[in-house]
Structure 1
């Protein structure tokens, strides 16, 4: 960012200056939804830009997403299908994969005897299973049975030893089947097992669509935090913990890394938290003129209307 905190519009710079800027980083992290793709459709020019940065300019490219509805390998498959040439699924940084990596590092979690309770979608269960971690609850409906009162459910389910014994973690993700029963199970486990991990894929409170808004994962985890009296550890942006494996291995130096994204609260805040350069693209919900009217939001170092606009400099 220029002196005084002014965001630089890359399209206003001469080519020589953009070339110098490109030489200032070795690694590129790019958000997924809204930045390089929308669902299963590439945003025009995004693949060509990331492929050129990797293949012709020698940058290490990673796709980093808060999408907890797919496993790392599934997201890698999407990237390949849409033409992004990242070398392998280790170049996908996703909440489901970060959860696995975090659990494996916890001294109090033993995958040979501990299982994980998931309030979330089936992808979390698939990622855990693929990595040898037993879980239950992912993608499952659990409404209060017709005719049941909460006391009936609690006495029948929560008084069993297996309701909390050997449950080493509670993981919360986006869950269309979120219910009182799931909240009660999570609360019981977290209150009974003080050493159990409490993880959340992300804290997106709401998902906004053109015609409606729906609750996000942040809304679900807030209820569980309130009743359990504990705070969940976020496994997605803007928490810098998601980059720890790459930083510790020496594969990434934050001061030589560019973060590309479309969301100030997640992507630009993440870049700031990690000490990285940031590039905001206007293909999400925050064109620059709208962002600059909200001074309380993190402001990016650089701006492009869309990532494909960088192609002319490559």
Structure 2
């Protein structure tokens, strides 16, 4: 089957659908907006994912940029919503990717190093499950009333020990982001060039029907600017997140289908990795015309469905 403009799968014949199914061995499936919304499965999504795995023998992984939950928590959600994944190792999340990276890194000593987290408590929970100590996650860090920034800096950074044993800085979505957190991350990264620097994802803004809110990309940009360091992105669309699977020969990107609801993140990720892509219309793009209007700015999917559940009638 040739690749070009996005093909609506519902317009294919039974023979063409069979050919399509034979073109991939592994499925990477996004979570939010693709197979579930918050804690509710999107109609038909569990049945499709389970059929691809159980009836057609595809190896299925859920891959998400959601840094607000641990891998185990996401796995438990998938089980609760009816997705039959073999284990939590079939969940690819930025929190788990960061923890796995640190565990495997010869530069990071879990007995001595700790991690400074600008982000939510799920990051700390994931690190703890991997035997890694951290601080800062999920809390506020603001100048006390009457304090000026020189008071904060002298009090917090006067002792060189404050940065010496911090082996990494992790930035995730943080509703309590502040000047003090940015200053602390900047001090650690500038004082200790060996400290690793990670960001869960670079989503700059989260768009809702009536409003937009700053995303993790907005937070990390400030820290990158003042520290003159670039964070390593541990979510889509960075191909790095697939390295553990490709190195272990658990998937071949040219035989993998990426399913998602976002052109920039999911289809861009597929394009970066050399994978086939299927865009569903349960996110930002409710019809194929909206997708095609982005063709001069964003990568285009190979295939399209209004919702993943529509695939049920084709299988």
Length-normalised TM-score, structure 1 = 0.98
Structure 1: give runs of 5+ residues left out of the alignment: none
Distance 2:277 2:220 in 1: 28
Distance 2:184 2:172 in 1: 15
Give the 3-state SS of the residue equivalent to 1:24 in structure 2. coil
The residue aligned with 2:121 is 122
Distance 2:95 2:47 in 1: 27
| 8 Å CA contact 1:198, 1:231 repeated in 2 | yes
Runs of 4+ in 1 over 6 A off after TM superposition: none
- Matched ranges for 1:1-314 at <5 A: 2=2, 5-287=4-286, 288-295=288-295, 296-314=297-315
Distance 2:2 2:181 in 1: 48
RMSD across aligned positions (CA): 1.0
Tell me how far 1:87 sits from its aligned partner. Answer: 0.8
| 8 Å CA contact 2:10, 2:314 repeated in 1 | no
Distance 1:159 1:265 in 2: 43
Count matched residues: 313
Residue deviations 1:1-32 (CA, integer Å, cap 9, x gap): 845x3111111111110111101111100000
Residue deviations 1:208-243 (CA, integer Å, cap 9, x gap): 112211100000000000000011000000001111
| 8 Å CA contact 2:261, 2:283 repeated in 1 | yes
Distance 2:89 2:233 in 1: 20
Residue deviations 1:271-293 (CA, integer Å, cap 9, x gap): 11111100000100023211211
Distance 2:151 2:69 in 1: 35
Residue deviations 1:57-99 (CA, integer Å, cap 9, x gap): 0000100000000000000011011000001100000000000
| 8 Å CA contact 1:7, 1:303 repeated in 2 | yes
Tell me how far 1:158 sits from its aligned partner. Answer: 1.1
Distance 2:303 2:212 in 1: 29
Give the 3-state SS of the residue equivalent to 1:17 in structure 2. helix
Distance 1:275 1:179 in 2: 39
Structure 2: give runs of 5+ residues left out of the alignment: none
Distance 2:251 2:271 in 1: 15
| 8 Å CA contact 1:111, 1:132 repeated in 2 | yes
Tell me how far 1:55 sits from its aligned partner. Answer: 0.6
Give the 3-state SS of the residue equivalent to 1:278 in structure 2. strand
Give the 3-state SS of the residue equivalent to 1:202 in structure 2. coil
Distance 1:110 1:145 in 2: 34
Tell me how far 1:106 sits from its aligned partner. Answer: 2.1
Tell me how far 1:54 sits from its aligned partner. Answer: 0.5
Distance 2:210 2:92 in 1: 30
Distance 1:44 1:104 in 2: 38
Give the 3-state SS of the residue equivalent to 1:164 in structure 2. helix
Distance 1:7 1:163 in 2: 53
Deviating more after overlay: 154-163 vs 183-192: 154-163
| 8 Å CA contact 1:262, 1:283 repeated in 2 | yes
Give the 3-state SS of the residue equivalent to 1:226 in structure 2. helix
Distance 2:27 2:161 in 1: 45
